Amino acid sequence: MAINEDDLELDEKSETDEKPAKSKKMIFIIAGVVVLTLSVGAGLYFGGVFGGGDDTQAEVSEDGVANKDDGEKAVEEELASEAIYHKFKPAFVVNFEDKGKLRYLQIDLSVSTKKPSIIDELVKHEPVIRNNLVLLYSSKTADELKSLEGKEKIRQQTREEIQKIMQENVGNPGIDEVYFTGFVVQ
C-alpha cells in the first residue's frame, strides 16, 4: 500500500486545525478562572474580610469619643434583639468576718446586655466595677449569703452598682441583668 501525498497534506492540515482550537479552549479556561478569582476576591474585599466594605468613618467629638454614624447605629440596633453576655474574669474572691471567724466568698459573675458596644465599655471600666463589687461583697454577713433571698438581694445590688458606674462613665446603664454563675461561701 502506497502512501499518497494528498493524504499526507490532509493529515497535516487537520493537526494544525486542532492546535488553534485547543489554544482557544485554554484561553477561555484561563480567562474564566481569572474572572472567577477576581469576583471572589472583590466579594470578600467589599464584604469586609480584607478590610474593605463600608468606608464611612466615625466622627470624633471634642472629648475624643467616636460618634457612630446612622449605619453603625442601625447595625447595633439590629443586633440588639439578642442578649450578649460578658463574664468577669477572674472570679471575685473576698474575705469577710462572721462571728469572729474569717470566711471567704467566691462569686463567678456574668452580665447581659443587648448592645455590643456596652461590652467594650464594661471592659474599659472593669477596674472601677471590680473595686466597688469587692467592697460590696466584703461588707456582707454569712446570714445574708446563705439564704436565697439574701443571694437575690446581693444580685440586685450588684446590678444596681454596675448600672450606676456605667451611667456615670458612659451615660447609659448598659447592662440588663446580672448572673451568678458560681457562688461559694467557706
| Residue 29 clears pLDDT 80, i.e. is over it | yes
Q: Is the dihedral of CA 172, 177, 182, 186 positive or negative?
A: positive
Q: What is the per-residue pLDDT across 50-74, written as a single tens digit (0 to 9) for each?
A: 654 444 444 444 444 455 555 555 5
51: left (phi over 0), alpha (psi -120 to 50) or beta: left
Q: What is the per-residue pLDDT across 88-137, written as a single tens digit (0 to 9) for each?
A: 999 999 998 888 888 999 999 999 999 999 999 999 999 999 999 999 99
Maximum alpha-carbon separation in the chain: 122
Rounded to an integer, the average pLDDT of 152-181 is 93
Q: How confident is the model at residue 44 (pLDDT cuts 50, 70, 90)?
A: confident
Alpha-carbon distance of 147 to 153, in angstroms, equals: 10
CATH number at 82-185: 3.30.479
Q: Residue 186: what pLDDT?
A: 87
Alpha-carbon distance of 146 to 137, in angstroms, equals: 13
Q: Find how far residue 93's CA is from the centre of its chain.
A: 28
pTM, two decimals, is: 0.57
Q: Residue 61: what pLDDT?
A: 46
Looking at every residue in the chain, the average pLDDT score rounds to 79
Cell of 96: 469577710
